[in-house]
Chains A and B, each alone.
Chain A
Amino acid sequence: MTYKNKKLFKLFQTVDDPSAQTIDENYVEINGSKCLIDSPSSTPTLIYKFQFYTKDGSTKQSLLNIKLQKSNDNFSSNIVDVPNCIMNISGDEATAGDQYDHTVSTFFIVENFDSDYLRLVCRSYSSSFESVLHRSSEYDGSAATTIYYNPSLIVLEV
């Protein structure tokens, strides 16, 4: 009997001291969420886990639309939404000034993955909402401008 290790793709990555991303009504890639899938399988099943921090922006209210996308050309021209890998994130936004600070923990399973790249993109629901990613403005009882939350990504082939 001959044994051979079958390598499965796995990736662990983070972004250190990311710049703040201010999210308006246009979809943008969430810093640290993009990865190249280098699997020996042509149609792997992937576990995609990404964590990042978000808070309300200048509108003092936050409602994020978030979706997973795939591409075979590093999102140059081929950009495809992964079906039903979407979510909204908001705290209370019934009253103006309802602020929301939150660590978002995404967890998607992508079966029969047929592309090369994955990433998360997000936008604010409307101009009434604005979010800021990766940075907090308050910490330890004081206003702060240099508190960064490093996003982290884990992708596992199973």
Chain B
Amino acid sequence: MRLHLGRRLRVLPALADHVLPSTRAIDVIAFLPDRLLQTLRVVAAGRHELTTVATMSELDAALRQGRADCAVVDPQGPGRPGAERLGPLLARYPGVHVVVYTTLTADSMHDVAALGVRDVVLFNCDDRPTYFRDLLETAPAASLTDEVLARIEGSLTTVRPELRRALAELFRAPETIRSVDAFRRVAGMSRMTLGRALTKAGLTSPSGLLRSARVVRVYFLVRRGGLRLKIIAPRLGYSSPRKLADECKALTGLTPMLLSRTVDPDEFSALIARKLLRHPL
């Protein structure tokens, strides 16, 4: 018999799937075989703009228009171009975030490794619509973080690969690295070694990096998705929306709302890059 009844109602994940508010529509270009396209249509239905292309030249033309946020491609899709043909084409459009959606076969796995993309969705394995939608909706954030990291590329080339990887991971998914301790673990270094390595590379402190990564994500979520701070704060590990706003203001001089309305992405990435460098040029 249960004697204590003061237990909170647990929110089941199945319900939580519908809790997150929708974000602004994403322009997605799909270069996929029919079977995979059907799933993507379900993912994008009613929320995002989906442009389907059936040939490499159509894909090129669609990317050239410059409207797409994200391209979902299968290297073994129409015409089986493989990584050899698809890679150079996608490399011409660095602003477009690429997601490989493919089946688990030797050829496609070879192509995935050769393309070197970060986001891969496997057909019938992890193409649950909610995950897939999350991935698409954070695609523009990936472009923003890439831009920030590109601005400090000079410093990144001097650090060890594991630290470089940890930095990329931090900016791409700040919600998953919530403390300096977690960050040093991802980098595989002790606190002292990490601090020394960052100083040597001319980068700010580990906690400074964490703050900047979180503010980049806040900027994206507020500007692009129009999300409210009380929804963003717990996702990024802030104890309250106020804490979030304070940290954003301390770093950029502006509240999240003002920042998202008055500072464009280019200016914002330059501002963050300056904060990341110990001695900005």
Asked if A and B bind, the verdict is no
Where the two chains meet, the residues of A that have a C-beta atom closer than 8 Å to any C-beta of B are none
